[in-house]
Copies of this chain bind each other. A is one copy, B any other.
Amino acid sequence: MKKRVNELTGVKEIARRANVSIATVDRVLHNRKGVSKQTKEKILSIIEELNYEPNLLAQRLASRKILRLATLIPEISKETSFWDAPLKGIEQADKEIKQFGIIIDKYFYDQNKIESFVEQTKIILESNPDGILLAPSFIEESVRFTDKCRELNIPYVLIDSDLPNGGSLSYIGPNLYHSGYLAAHLVSYLVKNGEKILIVNISREIDNHHHLLKKEEGFRAYFDKHKKSDNILKIDIRDTDLKSIEKYLSNTFNENKDIRIVFVTNSRVSKVAHFIESSKKDVILIGYDFLKENIEYMDKGIIDFLVCQKPKQQGYRGLISLYQHLAFSSPVEKIYFMPIDILTKENSAFYRN
């Protein structure tokens, strides 16, 4: 199946029609100077007329530009493997666009150490990248960092959580409030009169905690709206080790005998599941994120629902957006909310993160 492709397209054709060289057309296309107003207009009208679209392949091939992108996300800790997924997405994007002249440098910080975050941002700025992908766990420091980026004219994309200062090229991540709202909607089907609902926040860092509160807010908003908010309990657990968690839970359950639904506001739900399993409570358990340990408890029937927001996609999309913006200055959605996926024992096998 070999054939000659359209001959009346491309810079060559434009040049021919305008009676100029392709170099001049190129100048017009890239808005460079050195073209008289007359010729420029003529060429522009021909471009319009031909409905010219540059050949992306040839464009990238000919461009000697190298784009350097930096990514900054939490390192994968023993506490939670959550950040494994975005990293996978980053690696996939890396693989796909590497040959297009993109170099991706990956940086990581410790979610429990603000200093490590600040340190990495400094290193990144020194490396002077063309674009940045950031998971801004620490709000204040992230705001400072991104403000600096804007000063330096370095576009950045945020994933996982947004920042109040605006100015990002794009935010790609969950709508936390709505994911809580959705969870409440699910719960509303499951809870019966008189039964109690327990909200569990588990997080050591205040900043992360802030995100959890958004979910809790959405969750409560649902019940407020539907006028049945009177039976909601809540505990905040500031230690992330299993023992502390189980102690807290144990106390709470002892004091409240009719807890029927437990809503854990982040991926640590597997630790709660461990408690539920060993203490043989009969409750419905809802939590967050498609993690191995969570799936295991779901398969066992301990966790009933997981809410998930495609963390891998977040990393992947974030980089692709940066790339397209920098390489083709193609428009980027300012806010891209991830779908809010509901996982159960019966559909998790088909899930694509």
A positions within 8 Å CB-CB of B? 1-5, 53, 55-58, 60-61, 64-68, 99-101, 130, 175, 178, 181-182, 185-186, 189-190, 222, 284, 304, 337-342, 344-347, 349-352
Contacts and interface: CB of A to CB of B under 8 A. Distances in A.
A185 to B, nearest CB: 4
A27 to B, nearest CB: 18
Contact of A57 (B100, B338, B341, B352): B100
Nearest to A98: B53
A136 to B, nearest CB: 21
A interface, over-half SS: mixed
B185 A2 contact: no
Contacts of A341: 339, 341-342, 347
Contact of A61 (B61, B185, B284, B304): B61
A200 to B, nearest CB: 20
B178 A350 contact: yes
A228 B67 CA distance: 60
Nearest to A190: B189
Contacts of A190: 189
Contacts of A57: 57-58, 60-61, 99-100
A97 to B, nearest CB: 11
B64 A182 contact: no
Given A55-B99, A100-B57, A347 B342 contact: yes
A54 B345 CA distance: 42
Nearest to A184: B346
A57 B55 CA distance: 10
A1 B67 contact: yes
Contact of A346 (B4, B185, B349): B185
A323 to B, nearest CB: 13
B65 A1 contact: yes
B1 A130 contact: yes
Nearest to A310: B352
